[in-house]
Amino acid sequence: MTRAGSLRPRLITLSCAILFAISAGGCTQLANPSAPQSTVFPGSDWGRMIQDLYGLIFWMAVVVFVGVEGFLLYTVIRFRRRREGEAVSQTHGNTLLEVAWTVVPSIVLLMIAVPTISTIFIGDMPPPVTTNPVRVTVIGHQWWWEFRYPDLGVVTANELHLPAGRTATIEVTSADVIHSFWVPKMGGKVDAIPTRINTMWFTPDAAAVGEHFGQCAEFCGLQHANMRMRLFVDTAANFDAWVQQQRAPASAAAAGDAQQGAELFQRSACITCHTIKGTNAQGTIGPDLTHVGSRTTIAAGMIDNTPENLAHWIRDPQGVKVGNKMVLPQVSESDARLFAAYLQSLR
């Protein structure tokens, strides 16, 4: 027994919900442009190819969605039970209709599949712009990123620099478990798998000069959430300057706290895990610190690179990032200040 009185408001609510869903769906396209990790505001050629494909599929889906939900809603409203025992004509099926709704979706899917497959093959081929590419090897570690530029002799961590307008060829692998390299502005993610090397390429736009956020996108254990990274797209000139700076050995600290910190560093456990080029420190367990002072963040994009944060990190890395692999005996507050001063000076 349907209470006819209460039926209408229910249907209205239902329609509102569906309308909400439709408008919500529409917003997906108009996503938050200020979200630094947004996937729909590409800043590279490859990112744009993905975005074009996504746009096509998205609008197809919207059409199907509106069609199906509209048909459903219309049917439910139009054919709701008005009184008990209504006679209903007993249709059993219609082969023509069945053929229709087999063929029409197939056509829609074909329209998606063809550009999908061609995009797959474009992504698989060598990059379209090959003059003077930048090659980077990305190595995932629990829970930080190592970036190596084999042709430029640069090794750095957590902050990747690339020149606008030159194609970057990224080779991704891992030192331990599976991670995934992902800077949404530049394009999709690529898994970092131990024993394997996956490659991808993209060419950052000139308009994309600036800072972009990225993050490990495969669950890799305790601190997966804090395995972040930054990509700096530089102008050609800035990039060259950056490379020059990174290639240089560590700047020797002249005097003061920084110099004391340097001596302390060489005597401390730090050198078993960290490399500072041109010194005794040749460890490979943690990030290369040769130019750590030039980075904007530490601990894989978790905190800003300030003297206070650095000192805090060195005194209590486990407090800042529970479970991370930097385990060391307690450092005194004054020592930590010295370390921080030294590391800040490594630009």
Partner 1 sequence: MATATARAAPRAGILARPVAPMGIWSWLTTIDHKRIGILYELTAFIFFLIGGLEALLMRSQLVQPDNTLLGPGQYNALFTMHGTTMIFLVVMPLSAAFFNYIVPLQIGARDVAFPRLNAFSYWVFLSGGVLMNLGFLIGAVPDMGWFAYSPLTSSQFSPSVGVDFWVVGLQVLGVASLAAAFNFLVTIIQMRAPGLSFMRMPLFTWTTFVTSILIVLAFPVIAVALIELMFDRLFGSTFFNVTPAAAGAAAAGGDPILWQHLFWVFAHPEVYILILPAMGIVSEVVPVFSRKPLFGYPFMVYAVVSIAFLSFTVWAHHMFTTGLSAIAMSFFAASTMLIAVPTGIKIFNWISTLYGGSIALKAPAMFALGFIAMFTIGGLSGVMHASPPVDTQQQDTYFVVAHLHYVLFGGSIFALFAGIYYWWPKITGRLLGDGLGQLQFWLMFIGFNLTFGPMHFLGVDGMPRRVYTYSPGMGWELWNVVATIGAFVIGVSVLVFIFNAFKSLRTGERAGDDPWDGMTLEWTIPSPPPHYNFVEIPTVAGRNPLWLQKHPELAGRHVPGADPIATDTGHSGSEGSGAESHDGHHAVHVPDPSYWPLFAGAGIFVAGFGVLLSAGGNLSLLAVTGVGLFIVIVSIFGWSLEPVNEPVQA
Between residue 92 and residue 131, which ones bind ligand HEA under the rule CB under 6 A?
A: 105, 108-109
Sheet holding 159-163, edge to edge: 159-163, 228-234, 210-215
Query: Given the complex with ligand CUA, which of 223 and 290 has the nearer CB atom?
Result: 223
Distance CA 246, CA 275 (A): 13
Residue nearest to ligand HEA (CB): 105
Q: Does 101 bind partner 1 (CB under 8 A)?
A: yes
Closest CA to 184 of 338, 51, 341: 51
Closest CA to 299 of 283, 328, 319: 319
Quick one: DSSP state of residue 171? Answer: E
Report whether 180 contacts 189 (CB < 8 A). yes
Q: Does 5 bind partner 1 (CB under 8 A)?
A: no
Give the contact letters, 266-305, x = binds to ligand CUA (CB under 6 A), - = no. Answer: ----------------------------------------
Q: Min. distance of Cβ 137 from ligand CUA in angstroms?
A: 16
Q: Does 206 bind partner 1 (CB under 8 A)?
A: no
Q: Does 164 bind ligand HEC (CB under 6 A)?
A: no
Q: How far is CA 227 from CA 183, 222, 253, 299, in A?
A: 12, 10, 30, 8
State the sign of the Cα–Cα–Cα–Cα dihedral 109, 112, 114, 119. Answer: negative
Q: Does 216 bind ligand CUA (CB under 6 A)?
A: yes
Q: Does 191 bind partner 1 (CB under 8 A)?
A: yes
Contact set with ligand HEA (CB under 6 A): 64, 68, 105, 108-109
Contact set with ligand HEC (CB under 6 A): 143-144, 157-158, 268-270, 272-274, 285-287, 289, 292, 295, 298-300, 310, 314, 321, 324-328, 331, 339, 343
